[in-house]
Amino acid sequence: MSRAKEAVPVSLRRLFLTVPFVGAAAPLAYATSGYFLPIQVQAIDDGAKVGNLALINTLSACAAMVAQPVIGLLSDRTRTRFGARAPWMVAGAAIGFAALLLAGQASTVALLIVAMMLVQFGFNAFQGPLGAIMPDRVPTRLRGRYSTLIGLGQVLGAILGPVLASLFLSRIPTGYATFSVVVLAVILLFIVLNRDPGNRDLARPPFSAAAFLKAFWVNPVRHPDFFWAFLGRILIFGGYYMALTYSFYIAQDYLGLDAEEAARLTPLLGLAGVPGFLVAIAVSGPLSDRMGRRKPLTLTGGLVISLSALVPLLTPTAAGMFLSAIVATIGFGVFISVDQALVSEVLPSRDDFAKDLGVLNLAATLPNTVAPAAAGAVVSAFGGYGPLYGAVAIITVLGALAVLPIKGVR
């Protein structure tokens, strides 16, 4: 028997084979809607595009903030013949599916707000229970590999989403409909192939209003490792998405391209980083398992992302943006392939895996929606996009350093 077969039990092989695809599902939805959204907002009101995009994403962030920990809390207490996670994953995917269809038909800022809030609520409701599968089913010695695979899917979904969405540049409603069907189909297939065992015989922890409110809170004094993991994650993801989500407007207002050129350039930035990302993520997760250490690679990934932000600050050209995107994606590949395994080892309670992961996952998903608002504030305050890259460099350095105080993980 080969070492690979010995490393992954037969019962987990299907899970490991399919998790990159389901890991890509929600990021693909976010990335495609994130590509279409600035174009839709600019078409509705070009003069107010920055403020309107910031408003939509800020309100969407509120929906995401509610969904992950609360649905995670409910899934921890769900008892059905389909298990605890699957029913909520299906419900979240269905809401996200309908919301993408609605976004494709939106012709006003108000309707885009409703659609994007539902997109964020639905797919974050799906991601909370999905995140609990690792501590539920995957032994600690294999979590680096599992983290690598799901991270591979997450980042490829985010990178390839705009590339694929650009094929529908003149048919945005069709693009939304196409991706809504693809994402829903991938999620349902994953659930069918990796059935959640029935748990009706398990005792259900009591539910109360206090427990509901606690879904948003983990005591940082009692659980400092959890706090530092949360802080590092939100800063790294936040800095990464601040520049990424504004790339369409940066290409126009910082590089001087017209709208059509910017729409073509934006997805190519992500595509350019794919080779380096694949190498980084293929090496980092297994390496962290062999080393038995997570912190050095997490720190390295964050520092590389920070360095990437200095390139377009010093070289405000298309070539500078491409080089920055390549370096940033390598750093993000290193970071995300190890970070998921690291956070799974700082969870405070075995009884609240999904709830606690929901709180931690907010640090990964909220930046995707809050970053445009933060970036807009920086651009408005300093009058240009150059200072935005300086802010990204500072934020991601702080995020990388946040891993150092964690004591429970090497």
Whether the CB-CB separation of 269 and 261 falls below 8 Å is answered with no
- Is residue 63's pLDDT more than 90? no
* DSSP assigned state of 204: P
Which pLDDT band, with edges at 50, 70 and 90, does 41 fall under? very high
CATH topology of domain 13-195+215-401: Growth Hormone; Chain: A; (1.20.1250)
Residue 219 has pLDDT above 50, yes or no: yes
In angstroms, the Cα distances linking 13 to 10, 59, 154, 193, 224 are 5, 39, 19, 11, 34
Residue at token pair 């709208």: 259
Cα–Cα distance measured from residue 248 to residue 35, given in angstroms and rounded to the nearest whole number: 8
Per cent of the chain over pLDDT 90 is 25
**Residue 107 backbone dihedrals phi, psi, to 5 degrees:** -125, 5
In this model, does residue 211 exceed pLDDT 60?
Answer: no
pLDDT of residue 336: 78
pLDDT given for residue 3 in this prediction:
42
pLDDT of 4: 42
Rounded to 5, what percent of the chain is helix, strand, coil? 80, 0, 20
- Judge contact between 336 and 24, C-beta under 8 A: no
pLDDT (tens digit per residue) in 74-119: 777 777 777 678 888 899 999 999 999 999 999 999 999 999 999 9
Q: Which string of b and e fits 3-14 if b means at least 16 CB within 10 Å? A: eeeeebeeebee
Assess whether pLDDT exceeds 60 at residue 33. Answer: yes
**Residue 195 pLDDT level (bands cut at 50, 70, 90):** confident
Mean pLDDT throughout 240-266?
84
Quote the pLDDT of residue 172: 94
Q: pLDDT of 157-168, one tens digit each?
A: 888 888 899 999
Closest CA to 115 of 92, 99, 98: 99
Predicted local distance difference test score (pLDDT) of residue 213: 61
Q: How far apart are CA 225 and CA 219, in angstroms?
A: 10
Which carries the bigger pLDDT value, residue 204 or residue 195? 195
**Cα 218 to Cα 183, 211, 319, 342, distances in angstroms:** 32, 11, 43, 17
User: Given this model, what pLDDT does residue 59 score?
Assistant: 87
Q: Can you spell out the DSSP letters for 307-373?
A: HHTHHHHH--SHHHHHHHHHHHHHHHHHHHHHHHHHHHTS-S-GGGHHHHHHHHHHHHHHHHHHHHH
Per-residue pLDDT of 334-367, as tens digits, reads: 887 787 777 767 766 655 555 566 566 666 666 7
Q: What is the mean pLDDT of the chain?
A: 82
List the one residue out of 68, 297, 24, 327 whose CA is nearest residue 156: 24
Q: Is the pLDDT of residue 408 over 70?
A: no
Residue range 117-156, pLDDT digits in tens = 999 999 988 988 887 787 777 887 777 778 778 878 887 8
Residue 7's pLDDT is: 62
275-321: pLDDT as tens digits: 888 888 778 877 877 777 778 888 899 999 999 999 988 888 889 99
pLDDT reported for residue 223: 72
Q: What mean pLDDT comes out for the span 378-384?
A: 79
Residue 217 confidence (pLDDT) above 70: no
CA angle 77, 96, 106 (to 5 degrees): 150
Query: Are 372 and 53 a contacting pair, CB within 8 Å?
Result: yes
Give the per-residue pLDDT at 204: 61
Q: Are 212 and 72 in contact (CB under 8 A)?
A: no
C-alpha–C-alpha distance, residues 167 and 67, integer Å: 31
Is the per-residue pLDDT at 21 higher than 50?
yes
Q: Which residue has tokens 């504004």?
A: 246
